[in-house]
Structure 1
Amino acid sequence: CLPMARHVIWSKKKVKQRNNEREREREREREREREREREREREREREKVVSVCVCERERERERERERER
């Protein structure tokens, strides 16, 4: 009877450990996903900034042409 109980307790502990490991792994995966999302956001921001700069340059050129006339 006692060895059986020990075995049951041990297997329950093992299951708990495995669940915890899985949970940690999921948490790590979520964290990686968040990082990727942040990177994408940064990239989008850079793209916006670049496009704004280009627009500004275009406007400057237009102003220059206007001045020349």
Structure 2
Amino acid sequence: MNKIIAALVAATFSMGAFAQAASAPAPAKEAKPAAAKAEKKAKAKKAKAAKKAASAS
């Protein structure tokens, strides 16, 4: 009898913990594609090199 009561108490606590943790996750922001990020980085690098070349002249 004690084992049954212990199992019921444990089940009650575990269900309570599950009910609290079962919320839906927040929607994530859309991530920019890696290609667009790399293109932007290359563009900035090219602009920096052009600025450096213009100031050296």
TM-score scaled by length of structure 1:
0.36
More helix by share: 1
TM-score scaled by length of structure 2:
0.44
